[in-house]
């Protein structure tokens, strides 16, 4: 599988160097506000990352989708922006677009939590969700709710337009589950909240471009068995999010990956056995003491820790990629070879602001 990191947007040169230093070669462009859609803008981001030896494997969220979800005037313009984004991603070798179909009435696409300061190990801050604590103020909005079947009609219309463009561009779509997988929330329906919903999504088109984001945390919230899900959606898992939760869909807390109730070895064995080589990234993590500000699940230090943990899990199942480059090098030359490689990997020291 292709390990990537997402907690680096907006880009910080120091953070990007750390990404490379901990052995990650790919990043996820993850910015809920927008993405660079025009070719020259997206190419500039790709070029700047390449100077540090990094590449973009996934774009998450994409252009605005609110009028598509609700079927409002302006839907055609938003679809055309999606088409342009996908075409330019394909031209630049970015292979996956992760998106959601949650009603986008919040800055984070309606990912809902009722606490962002729940206590985790050692006093770290994490997020939690309790359905009983939901109020209208949790998700303030002025949208008129629309029926579930209307949302499915809007999704089907969107995919009929987008999938041929994605196929032509060599880009795969990866639908992310509703988080939490509950419907309705604050009067707004959600249609990606169960395994049956994902079965229906994939039945809309057999194209490999019509795939899913295997968000392990969300499927755990659904009560699903993760190895079973990995096998059920073989060939359609285009992106993976790694996260553990404790609890049930109406009452759960996000944990450190080594501190939760899930044994992930069988999950990755199932992904290995089904030939999954998709990009994977750390999802939400608790916020560590050295990081100030509000907890949003994307603290950089927490992601560095969780990425190291994930690397260990992946190598225990898929093997250690670094072994191959040592093959045939005599022990007496290993130190020299190591320093040669380290020097060759120093591809840049700054991000181009132009």
Map out the domains of the chain as residue ranges.
2-344
- Whether pTM > 0.75 for this model: the answer is yes
- Cβ partners under 8 Å of residue 308, min gap 6: 22
**Model pLDDT for residues 207-221, shown as the tens digit of each residue:** 999 999 999 999 999
Q: What percentage of the chain reaches a pLDDT higher than 90?
A: 84
Burial class (CB in 10 A: 0-12, 13-18, 19+), 121: exposed
Using a CB cutoff of 8 Å and minimum separation of 24, what contacts does 108-111 make?
A: 108/32, 108/296, 109/32, 109/61, 110/139, 110/178, 110/185, 110/188, 110/190, 111/179
Residue-averaged pLDDT of the chain: 93
Predicted confidence band of residue 349 (pLDDT cuts 50, 70, 90): very low
**168 pLDDT exceeds 70?**
yes
Q: What percentage of the chain reaches a pLDDT higher than 70?
A: 97
**290 pLDDT exceeds 80?**
yes
Would you say 297 and 284 are in contact if contact means Cβ atoms under 8 Å apart?
A: yes
* pLDDT computed for residue 204 by the predictor: 98
Would you say 215 and 279 are in contact if contact means Cβ atoms under 8 Å apart?
A: no
* pLDDT computed for residue 346 by the predictor: 58
Query: Average pLDDT, stretch 139-143?
Result: 91
Query: Average pLDDT, stretch 53-72?
Result: 93
Predicted confidence band of residue 353 (pLDDT cuts 50, 70, 90): very low
**11 pLDDT exceeds 80?**
yes
* pLDDT computed for residue 352 by the predictor: 42
**Model pLDDT for residues 310-342, shown as the tens digit of each residue:** 999 999 999 998 898 889 999 999 999 999 888
Q: Would you call 287 helix, strand, or coil by DSSP?
A: strand
* pLDDT computed for residue 274 by the predictor: 97
Using a CB cutoff of 8 Å and minimum separation of 24, what contacts does 314-317 make?
A: 314/1, 314/3, 314/268, 314/280, 316/265, 316/268, 317/265, 317/268, 317/269, 317/271, 317/272
* pLDDT computed for residue 292 by the predictor: 82
CA distance 286 to 299: 7
Query: Average pLDDT, stretch 167-180?
Result: 98
One of 3.40.50.300, 3.40.50.2300, 3.40.50.1860, 3.20.20.150 is the CATH number of 2-344, namely 3.20.20.150
């Amino acid at each position: 599988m292709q390990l990537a990191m997402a907690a680096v947007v907006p880009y910080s040169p120091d953070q990007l160097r750390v990404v490379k230093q901990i052995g990650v070669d790919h990043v996820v462009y993850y910015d809920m506000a927008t993405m660079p859609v025009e070719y020259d803008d997206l190419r500039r981001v790709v070029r700047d990352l390449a100077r540090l030896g990094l590449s973009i494997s996934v774009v998450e969220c994409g252009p605005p989708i609110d009028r598509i979800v609700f079927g409002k005037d302006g839907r055609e313009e938003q679809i055309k922006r999606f088409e342009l984004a996908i075409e330019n991603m394909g031209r630049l070798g970015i292979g996956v677009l992760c998106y959601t179909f949650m009603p986008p009435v919040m800055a984070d696409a309606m990912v809902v939590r009722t606490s962002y300061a729940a206590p985790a190990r050692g006093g770290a801050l994490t997020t939690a969700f309790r359905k009983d604590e939901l109020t209208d103020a949790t998700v303030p909005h002025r949208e008129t709710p629309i029926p579930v079947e209307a949302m499915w009609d809007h999704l089907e219309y969107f995919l009929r337009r987008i999938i041929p463009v994605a196929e032509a561009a060599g880009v795969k779509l990866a639908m992310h589950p509703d988080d939490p997988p509950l419907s309705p929330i604050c009067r707004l329906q959600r249609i990606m909240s169960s395994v049956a919903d994902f079965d229906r999504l994939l039945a809309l088109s057999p194209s490999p471009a019509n795939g899913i984001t295997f968000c392990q945390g969300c499927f755990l919230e659904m009560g699903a068995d993760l190895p079973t899900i990995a096998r059920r959606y073989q060939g359609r898992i285009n992106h993976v999010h790694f996260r553990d939760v404790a609890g049930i869909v109406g009452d759960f807390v996000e944990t450190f990956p080594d501190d939760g109730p899930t044994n992930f070895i069988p999950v990755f064995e199932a992904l290995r056995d089904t030939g999954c080589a998709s990009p994977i990234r750390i999802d939400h993590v608790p916020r560590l003491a050295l990081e100030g500000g509000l907890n949003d699940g994307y603290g950089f230090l927490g992601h560095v820790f969780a990425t190291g943990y994930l690397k260990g899990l992946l190598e225990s199942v898929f093997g250690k990629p670094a072994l191959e480059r040592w093959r045939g090098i005599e022990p007496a030359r290993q130190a020299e070879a190591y320093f040669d490689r380290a020097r060759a990997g120093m591809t840049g020291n700054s991000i181009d602001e132009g």
